Chains A and B, each alone.
Chain A
């Protein structure tokens, strides 16, 4: 669906995107992750033909971009850096203009298309007030509706959950899943890792313009070979499993053991109370934080005395990756 080869973008001397080779397959729900300013938005803009690559190739739906832009983009719905609208017009009027601007479509079926798109994003009952009076969440929904207008084969969405409340985020997730099951490939960027964890089947992680990881989510979250045990008698359990206990924190023990069921049987038969027992899995958050550096929106004071702190994957730097700001460092 989306294939890039050594995609590179340089703004003057600043290397925004460096040799990114994405591979998004048909039917994927692909999560594109990375700190602020890591180049996510620049990649998305290049995919959509808004920014021209310095070098490298892009193929979308099997066609080269931006050369085949007119045919390709007609089958792509997009949301880039937040929704936009003509503020003095109503939501329906905005969708009508956007729909009429695109190729083909047909005027007679326009209202039906608009109605369906509004229905999907939960704005079916919208009245004629101007978009200027919409709430942030309503604008986000309207932006999604615009992306869905032409029943696209591929959705490219930058931060689709921005501005939505928890219920709205849930609705958005259900909508993405439903569209995906109906055959739409979904490519989305997000900071909300739990969101990506629940929605996506595949992730790519960028850091400072480089794609540092791309894999199926299930593979990334495979069991680590350790088992988490919570017991009201942690001391007893630790003593019984001496040598296998790798970490102890209060009543929580992390035990190196290949088989959770066998461990459970052993503990229960030894008479230990087991409150919780599960195979340990890496969370996406741990993975992302271990692989990426601080977002470009964090500007630390240069370290005194020449010692290098605050850069690389230091713990101090990690705290910034969950920040909520938009990806403003793309340029």
Chain B
């Protein structure tokens, strides 16, 4: 069944369009920045963008920061929300279950498909951004500092900065990719749960996005600070700590723990609901 779901994922033109858009946006930004040499000043605009002018090997991180707030969650919510509700909507759910495909097996296969999509999306964005970044900005060595990462040509004079070998940089980018993938898995789990509740894949995707937007609003609200450590988006940007020296593990660990709880809770809810549901679609 997992193979079947992966084939379905790959043969859906819509999924390739969404991947192309995800990869295209950072490339577009890179082209504009490279042509105009007008990077936003540090602290403004997309994170890390101000540093990429001096070294393109940082661009994968900048690209992930560009797609993370909006595009990536939307794409994941659409895929996750479509997983069960889409089958119900097309009328295929009853035929799959009567084939028979066990309900738990179907749900697992859908989850695997969501995971594969998330990983593909994040890795592809990082790869295309690396290619675009090194082509457009060159690949000077990079240094990490407690405050973040800079091109080492600037950091050479900095006492605290330490140079990063390309291997170290790759490891850190892989760490960021893994962290973002886990964060997106949290989104996918919420969407997957909603997808078992409704027969409308649009409803499930929008529901998941509504949950994220609510979380984003509450994170910025001081009076909601009591619950903010438990909100799904609270630690979304913690992967930036991979580019500090030394790496600040505290928020990364917390982020992974929060996402882990969301994934477990919502997958359990999805399974409990789907296994006992009357399929009337």
Which of A80, A102, A331 interacts with B101 by CB under 8 Å?
Answer: A102
A127 to B279, CA, bound (A): 33
Known contacts A45-B279, A89-B11, A97-B4; A50/B90 CB under 8 A:
no
Scan residues 61-89 of chain A and give those whose CB is less than 8 A from a CB of chain B: 69-70, 73-74, 76, 78, 80-89
Q: Is the CB of B100 within 8 A of A69?
A: yes
Q: Is the CB of A101 within 8 A of B102?
A: no
Q: Is the CB of A74 within 8 A of B100?
A: yes
Q: Which of A50, A52, A93, A103 has the most CB of B within 10 A?
A: A50
Q: Is the CB of B8 within 8 A of A97?
A: yes
Q: Is the CB of B92 within 8 A of A86?
A: yes
A94: nearest chain-B partner, CB-CB: B92
B14: nearest chain-A partner, CB-CB: A88
Cβ of B250 within 8 Å of any chain A Cβ, yes or no, is no
A102: nearest chain-B partner, CB-CB: B99
Number of residues in B with C-beta < 8 Å to the partner? Answer: 24
User: Which residues of chain B have C-beta atoms less than 8 A from A89's C-beta?
Assistant: 11
A174 to B171, CA, bound (A): 66
Cβ of A256 within 8 Å of any chain B Cβ, yes or no, is no
Q: Is the CB of B8 within 8 A of A51?
A: no
Q: Is the CB of B95 within 8 A of A146?
A: yes
**Shortest beta-carbon distance from A66 to chain B in Å:** 9
Q: Is the CB of B280 within 8 A of A49?
A: no
**Shortest beta-carbon distance from A168 to chain B in Å:** 21
User: Which residues of chain A have C-beta atoms less than 8 A from B95's C-beta?
Assistant: 78, 80, 84, 98, 146
A69 to B94, CA, bound (A): 13
A90 to B101, CA, bound (A): 22
A87 to B13, CA, bound (A): 12
**Shortest beta-carbon distance from A95 to chain B in Å:** 11
Q: Is the CB of B90 within 8 A of A51?
A: no
A146 to B98, CA, bound (A): 11
**Which secondary structure characterizes the binding site on chain A?**
loop
A331 to B278, CA, bound (A): 10
User: Which residues of chain A have C-beta atoms less than 8 A from B135's C-beta?
Assistant: none
A73 to B7, CA, bound (A): 24
Scan residues 81-119 of chain A and give those whose CB is less than 8 A from a CB of chain B: 81-89, 93, 97-98, 100-103
Q: Can you add 10 more A-B contacts, CB < 8 Å, to A84-B90, A101-B99?
A: A50-B94, A73-B99, A74-B100, A80-B95, A80-B98, A86-B8, A87-B90, A88-B13, A97-B4, A102-B100
A103 to B96, CA, bound (A): 11
Which of A52, A74, A80 interacts with B276 by CB under 8 Å?
Answer: A52
Scan residues 51-105 of chain B and give those whose CB is less than 8 A from a CB of chain A: 90-92, 94-102
Number of residues in A with C-beta < 8 Å to the partner? Answer: 32
Which of B3, B8, B12, B278 interacts with A50 by CB under 8 Å?
Answer: B278
Q: Can you offer 28 A-B residue contacts whose CB atoms are under 8 A?
A: A45-B278, A48-B97, A49-B98, A50-B279, A50-B280, A51-B279, A52-B276, A69-B100, A70-B102, A73-B100, A78-B95, A78-B98, A80-B95, A80-B98, A83-B91, A86-B92, A88-B12, A89-B11, A93-B11, A97-B8, A98-B96, A98-B99, A100-B3, A100-B7, A101-B4, A101-B99, A330-B280, A331-B280
User: Which residues of chain A have C-beta atoms less than 8 A from B99's C-beta?
Assistant: 73-74, 98, 101-102
**Shortest beta-carbon distance from B15 to chain A in Å:** 11
A330 to B3, CA, bound (A): 34
User: Which residues of chain A have C-beta atoms less than 8 A from B91's C-beta?
Assistant: 81-84
Known contacts A51-B278, A93-B11; A85/B100 CB under 8 A:
no
A149: nearest chain-B partner, CB-CB: B99
Which of A48, A51, A84, A103 interacts with B280 by CB under 8 Å?
Answer: A51
Which of A52, A74, A80, A101 interacts with B278 by CB under 8 Å?
Answer: A52
User: Which residues of chain A have C-beta atoms less than 8 A from B1's C-beta?
Assistant: 101
Contact code string B252-281 (vs A, CB < 8 Å = 1, else 0): 000000000000000000000000101110
Contact code string B101-119 (vs A, CB < 8 Å = 1, else 0): 1100000000000000000
A101 to B95, CA, bound (A): 10
User: Which residues of chain B have C-beta atoms less than 8 A from A83's C-beta?
Assistant: 91
B7: nearest chain-A partner, CB-CB: A97
User: Which residues of chain B have C-beta atoms less than 8 A from A85's C-beta?
Assistant: 90, 92
**Shortest beta-carbon distance from A60 to chain B in Å:** 12
A97 to B97, CA, bound (A): 13
A100 to B91, CA, bound (A): 18
A45 to B281, CA, bound (A): 10
Q: Is the CB of B97 within 8 A of A50?
A: yes
**Shortest beta-carbon distance from A61 to chain B in Å:** 13
**Shortest beta-carbon distance from B4 to chain A in Å:** 5
Known contacts A84-B92, A86-B90, A330-B280; A50/B7 CB under 8 A:
no
